[in-house]
Structure 1
């Protein structure tokens, strides 16, 4: 994260000059945002807020960019370089320059100019929280009282540090809102996660053993905070919070004692609680949609989908999200175990078009990869090779989900030092992705030698897949 002294002086000098040059551009309700991307993943960056793209800004020959916000709403925005994204706080009259190396994206991100101190504090807080995840997991194995003491100590230190920073730098109201939310909602998240990640007892038993005031912080939750609606700590907390309170509700009227995210009754409770507690339509619809899609992706019991779908469509007011979920449900009905894999055309390395089911000659695993996701591309191919070596009676078939020519597909594989073996891409990628519900990209199909689906939602990285494969081969 630290630059070499000489380079640092040169870099800061150029930033100061640039910021002074751009002060004349910054008017009453405008702000400047610019910087340098080292080892860029693309020729441009995308600036967005709340999943809405604000603009696409192209890099110049030196991999630098400039952008002027005009008549904008102050708050947290994101920039995306084609590979990773990070947030930044921008307010009227700010003039912010960034410098980031995509090889160490978050760790290398540095802000300079008007608004730099608040943004550097927020990114440092983000990195500090990431580092503390392992510590939170470790202390979650303690008894509830000891856990609470250590977790409160972490929170109080952060709040004390923030208080000193705010006094010294006369920080803005928006900054204080986001910084406090980061500290508090990560603290709340760890409290909600405790019954799930403490391994001493079942979740039901842990709930019974908790002190009466363990969840008192829930009285402070604002379920409809539109300022924080896109802020990661707030969004992550709400998701886990509803997992937790739904489980507590579920235990009241069921004989279950363990968490089961595939339980229909549990998920019905969750949608009901979201509907009862959240009034802001954006936050409510997003939570409903997230949990509906999560259930669909987790459960293999297609017969449960319509029941939860009915509850979801009654509660959500987002027509676009509802239509998309209905499509996913209908897609999985076609992918029910025992059904023949849908009629989809794939293209081999010689540009020969074939039906997917016709290339299946024996029990097979079909996995997918995205050229834009280099990490998954590599680890999925490594795991596929391992499975193929262990089970030579199987076919392991790889399919690229991008709209791509065979020549370009070969270049991607060669660039990543991967063999072009049993590789295909879709003739119509968009249609195939919808028909096979290939989201997320790491889902895997297991099919028998007749191209009948055994499992449409397998996970190559789950050790349980080997038991499934052995069961299939021993039939």
Structure 2
């Protein structure tokens, strides 16, 4: 997302609250959160912490909302407007207002009230890091020692600003933890990414060219920081970090010299390292599950699924995640290339029920959309339209995964200025999502004229999809 200056000024709504008492003087465990959503994606926002929904808060006629926290555990909470989510730090005595325009979510979001300075600081850190991505990419072309010095300068400058801010406003220990973690783990992430940005052909040799102390920062990693378990910089870093250390471990006992994220042995190494280094149950289970699902979603070797699943089940203690992973493996076994696609029932815009297989008459690309993801809704239809012009030998079927009527579907498409040809929705959406493993939403099926699966994991935005289509046309 490109950086743009914040264009909306801070507004305080007296109708909601009057803030005169400093939070440090407050003895009770309460806090307030309210605000205004401009161009709302839904009529409510959802508040949650970690994976647990706290409450659903409805907007009033002016698209404003208010919510009181009582007897709560301070920390990071998030609110979801139906399109995007945003985290905020809530501590006892806070009285935080937010104003955001969903058309420019991150760039327009501002906080005001007690607790706002800390949240605006965290938001500014996020935007600053986003703005510096190009700068970090450029210095990643330099020699390791020069790169390291420049990256350290960026980190040191941020830490100095944080120290000044912390002293000036006497910030809490909890805020300092999150702010410092943002700086540190983004720095760690850039260090992990450097070898693959700077080089890129033979990954095995990449690690050998680095100075011996290049990864010394890994000594600072806290693998079990429960306070940061939902914090994006920390979570993103751990995911990338385990990719790297698993690859380094994999090269020690394999003949591979290039990175292959579909390698079974490499993914087994990754699960083993996660299990060995992480003690925190929540962090460990989530990382194990993330990598298990990631492998299933990218690997075309169905025969490898059971082996990795067995390793995952031995290490994870989360019953729900084990069940979901097993269900996904079983679903993909039925979606193996060469199998006929499940004959689910679909409805067109006129509510006419049809068999999915019956509407497949020639090579077909089946893609899906979700009414809550307006960006993907638009880009997938635009991409399909482009491919349809280039490959008239193909049919293109768009299927909504939502529980909506034909009328509602038509209204969504009309509202987004999209056509209505070959548009369907499932008769039983939850069943279809499970049987077709429609996660992530950008997953695409390529099937032949007999509804036999050619690829159950195609990606419309991947350059390889056109070669797959041409191959099927020329069969």
Structure 2-normalised TM-score? 0.96
Give the match's secondary structure for 2:226.
coil
Instruction: Quote the residue 2:141 is aligned against.
Output: 141
Equivalent runs, 1:11-90 vs 2, <5 Å: 11-12=11-12, 14=14, 18-20=18-20, 28-90=28-90
Instruction: Quote the residue 1:380 is aligned against.
Output: 380
Instruction: Quote the residue 1:307 is aligned against.
Output: 307
Shift of 1:424: 1.0
Shift of 1:16: 9.7
Instruction: Quote the residue 2:115 is aligned against.
Output: 115
Q: Distance in 2 between matches of 1:243 and 1:151?
A: 21
Instruction: Quote the residue 1:321 is aligned against.
Output: 321
Instruction: Quote the residue 1:339 is aligned against.
Output: 339
Give the match's secondary structure for 1:381.
helix
Instruction: Quote the residue 2:466 is aligned against.
Output: 466
Q: Distance in 1 between matches of 2:412 and 2:160?
A: 49
Count of matched residue positions in the alignment of Structure 1 and Structure 2: 469
Q: Is contact 1:15-1:112 (8 Å) kept?
A: no
Q: Is contact 1:22-1:32 (8 Å) kept?
A: no
Residues 140, 61 of structure 1: alpha-carbon distance in 2 compared, 3 angstrom cutoff: same
Shift of 1:196: 2.3
Moved more, 149-158 or 183-192: 149-158
Q: Distance in 1 between matches of 2:22 and 2:346?
A: 52
Q: Is contact 1:15-1:97 (8 Å) kept?
A: no
Q: Distance in 1 between matches of 2:42 and 2:20?
A: 28
Task: Give a deviation string over 1:415-472, Cα, whole Å, max 9, x none.
Answer: 1111111111111111001000000010100111111000000011111111111111
Equivalent runs, 1:27-426 vs 2, <5 Å: 28-199=28-199, 201-426=201-426
Residues 218, 41 of structure 1: alpha-carbon distance in 2 compared, 3 angstrom cutoff: same
Give the match's secondary structure for 1:257.
coil
Instruction: Quote the residue 1:430 is aligned against.
Output: 430
Q: Distance in 2 between matches of 1:62 and 1:367?
A: 37
Moved more, 13-22 or 265-274: 13-22
Shift of 1:138: 2.3
Shift of 1:320: 0.4
Q: Distance in 2 between matches of 1:361 and 1:380?
A: 22
Task: Give a deviation string over 1:107-147, Cα, whole Å, max 9, x none.
Answer: 11111111111111111001111112222222222221121
Q: Is contact 1:40-1:63 (8 Å) kept?
A: yes
Give the match's secondary structure for 1:227.
helix
Shift of 1:19: 2.9
Moved more, 131-140 or 173-182: 131-140
Q: Distance in 2 between matches of 1:22 and 1:161?
A: 23
Residues 267, 359 of structure 1: alpha-carbon distance in 2 compared, 3 angstrom cutoff: same
Q: Distance in 2 between matches of 1:351 and 1:55?
A: 34
Q: Distance in 1 between matches of 2:371 and 2:270?
A: 36
Shift of 1:12: 4.4
RMSD, aligned CA:
1.7
5+ long unaligned stretches in structure 1 = none
Moved more, 165-174 or 323-332: 165-174
| Off by >6 Å, runs of 4+ in structure 1 | none
Residues 200, 182 of structure 1: alpha-carbon distance in 2 compared, 3 angstrom cutoff: same
Shift of 1:194: 1.4
Shift of 1:198: 2.2
Moved more, 175-184 or 97-106: 97-106
Shift of 1:210: 0.5
